[in-house]
């Protein structure tokens, strides 16, 4: 596999993160990002209870359009319609908005690594398979967490 993605720590506090899609995938991604205090907007015809009940998330219940990207620092596309995902990703690229497409790692400008964070020490370890095998990333992250928590 040719490596294309460089791990980078990005300050997202106060940044506008726009999520197209309000299902479990969006909810999971949001859960890992929200503690960094970004401005999160979700646009979808429906959303999970976890998204709807979170006061830190602006939720707009309707079908998304390319116009919804305006002002986005990062775009996360999490719908279950591959064609819509592709069209919106192309539009984001034209507008120079970094995009993550949940079901298409090759269309994505960035990926969400599996992250272990120790808030007491500020230690952050991320594991990525460049979007190819997220479940393996999570397993490896969990093993690293056990190792670090034992203090070895």
CA distance 80 to 40: 20
- Which pLDDT value is given to residue 51? 98
Q: What is the DSSP secondary-structure string of 42-76?
A: EEESS--HHHHT-TTEEEEES---GGGGTT-SEEE
Q: Name the one residue in this structure whose structure tokens are 């506008």.
A: 16
Class of 16-107 per CATH?
A: alpha beta
Comparing 6 with 46, the larger pLDDT belongs to 46
Share of the chain above pLDDT 90, in %: 66
């Amino acid at each position: 596999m040719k490596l294309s993605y460089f791990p980078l720590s990005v300050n997202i506090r106060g940044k506008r993160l726009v999520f197209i899609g309000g299902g479990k995938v969006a909810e999971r991604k949001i859960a890992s990002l929200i503690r960094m205090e970004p401005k999160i907007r979700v646009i979808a015809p429906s959303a999970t209870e976890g998204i709807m009940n979170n006061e830190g998330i602006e939720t707009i219940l309707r079908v998304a359009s390319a116009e919804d990207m305006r002002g986005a620092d990062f775009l996360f596309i999490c719908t279950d319609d591959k064609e819509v995902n592709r069209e919106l990703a192309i539009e984001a690229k034209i507008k120079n908005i970094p995009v993550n497409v949940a079901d298409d790692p090759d269309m994505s400008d960035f990926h969400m690594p599996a992250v272990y964070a120790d808030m007491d020490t500020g230690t952050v370890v991320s594991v990525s398979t460049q979007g190819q095998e997220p479940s393996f990333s999570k397993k490896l992250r969990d093993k690293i967490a056990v190792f670090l928590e034992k203090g070895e």
